């Protein structure tokens, strides 16, 4: 299949990130406005980029039908190939350890570029327009900013410094998977962030650990420090709360843990009786399909045998595999309207 490249030019408001805003470390709004050249596509490396207006003339059919560009002229970008600790997962905006810290680190990096909004560009390798957005109408892409004279990939930066896990989907190409795997291995060797002690042991669910607004967030000893992007660079930034330290579950597991725990609350605390088994039994019945990365890269999605997500955990839901050894199936979305490049 031919691999095209979509390039998007725009800006990012740093104030959208927590604690000023609600954005966490792996999801950003990017302003594209009415710039007719904001979206440019080339069908192959041998072609020139040409402006495309596809995303101004269509809607994304996913969970609901939604325009990819909102009324403020922004697209939502989900940083592809990574998963940062959850800052506000529904239904009660549950939060993981290191979620505040990872967001503050990203905010600090963007602020080091200059005043908000910060110029940036995004890109994603796709074969057709339907490949660009997920079921939530988010553009799945890499985002790059200039820090001094160096262009930094936010995706790689967060993984390489331990502020996000690698999280791969079947829509990614091998040349996108391998650099993030290398970055994650580097962070693990240095025991950074999410790769601290007991990083594969299930962290018990804490229903009291939820999103905190910035003005209400207590300061503590866990000061998030922006890792230098070059020798001599990097500044201390805002302080996360006291309970932002400690290990964090692989976010894909954490989200299922939240769903499970909110269906198993004690009597009188909102139990709805939907599921009464163990967390492992819940994972098994959820039947989330995924692949071993090695087999997926060797054989492809249509030949490699899919596994269940639960196969990568022991009976106590401790992770048995490296996060980069798992590739999740992508739920398809479809563009509705004028969808020709």
pLDDT category, 271, cuts 50, 70, 90? very low
**Each residue's pLDDT tens digit, 281-304:** 999 998 899 999 999 999 988 899
231-253: average pLDDT: 70
Nearest Cα residue to 28 out of 112, 143, 126: 143
Position 203 pLDDT exceeds 50: yes
For domain 4-222+245-330, say whether CATH 2.40.50.90 is its number. Answer: yes
pLDDT of 218: 41
Q: What is the DSSP string of 28-95?
A: EEEE-TT-TTSEEEESSTTSPPEE--GGGSEEEESSSEE-SB-TTSEEEEEETTEEPPPSSBTTTTB-
DSSP alpha helix (H) spans, the chain: 99-111, 154-160, 174-189, 251-261, 279-286, 293-299
Instruction: Name the least confident of 77-91, 176-190, 327-341.
Output: 327-341
Q: From CA 298, how far away is CA 263, in angstroms rounded?
A: 39
Nearest Cα residue to 99 out of 227, 254, 228: 254
Position 326 pLDDT exceeds 80: yes
pLDDT category, 309, cuts 50, 70, 90? very high
DSSP alpha helix (H) spans, 210-302: 251-261, 279-286, 293-299
101-116: average pLDDT: 97
Q: From CA 68, how far away is CA 75, in angstroms rounded?
A: 6
Q: From CA 84, how far away is CA 244, in angstroms rounded?
A: 13
Q: From CA 157, how far away is CA 164, in angstroms rounded?
A: 9
Secondary structure (3-state) at 173: coil
Q: 274: how many CB neighbours lie within 10 A of its CB?
A: 10
């Amino acid at each position: 299949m031919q691999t095209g490249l979509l390039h998007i030019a725009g800006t990012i408001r740093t104030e959208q990130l927590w604690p000023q805003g609600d954005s966490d470390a792996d999801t950003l709004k990017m302003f594209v406005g009415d710039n007719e050249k904001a979206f440019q596509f080339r069908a192959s490396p041998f072609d020139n980029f040409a402006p495309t207006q596809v995303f101004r003339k269509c809607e994304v059919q996913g969970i609901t039908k939604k325009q990819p560009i909102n009324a403020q002229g922004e697209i939502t970008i989900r940083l592809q190939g990574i998963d940062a600790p959850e800052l506000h997962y529904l239904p009660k905006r549950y939060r993981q350890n290191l979620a505040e810290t990872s967001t503050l680190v990203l905010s600090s990096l963007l602020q080091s570029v200059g005043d908000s909004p910060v110029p940036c560009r995004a890109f994603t390798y796709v074969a057709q327009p339907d490949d660009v957005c997920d079921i939530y109408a988010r553009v799945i892409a890499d985002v790059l900013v200039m820090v001094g004279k160096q262009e930094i990939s936010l995706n790689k930066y967060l993984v390489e410094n331990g502020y996000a896990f690698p999280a791969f989907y079947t829509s990614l190409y091998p040349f996108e998977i391998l650099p993030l795997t290398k970055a994650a291995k580097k962070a693990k060797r240095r025991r950074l962030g999410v790769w601290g002690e007991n990083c594969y042991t299930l962290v018990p669910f804490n229903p009291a650990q939820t999103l905190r607004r910035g003005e209400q967030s207590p300061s503590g000893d866990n000061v998030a420090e922006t890792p230098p992007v070059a020798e001599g660079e990097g500044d201390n930034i805002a302080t996360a709360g006291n309970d932002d330290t400690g290990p964090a579950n692989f976010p894909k597991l954490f989200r299922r843990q939240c769903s499970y725990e909110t269906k198993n609350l004690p009597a009188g605390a909102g139990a709805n009786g939907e599921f009464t088994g163990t967390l492992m039994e819940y994972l098994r019945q959820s039947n989330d399909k995924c692949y071993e990365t090695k087999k997926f890269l060797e054989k492809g999605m249509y030949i490699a045998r899919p596994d269940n997500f639960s196969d990568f955990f022991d009976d106590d839901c401790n992770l048995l595999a490296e996060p980069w050894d798992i590739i999740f199936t992508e739920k398809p979305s479809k563009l509705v309207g004028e969808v020709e490049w």
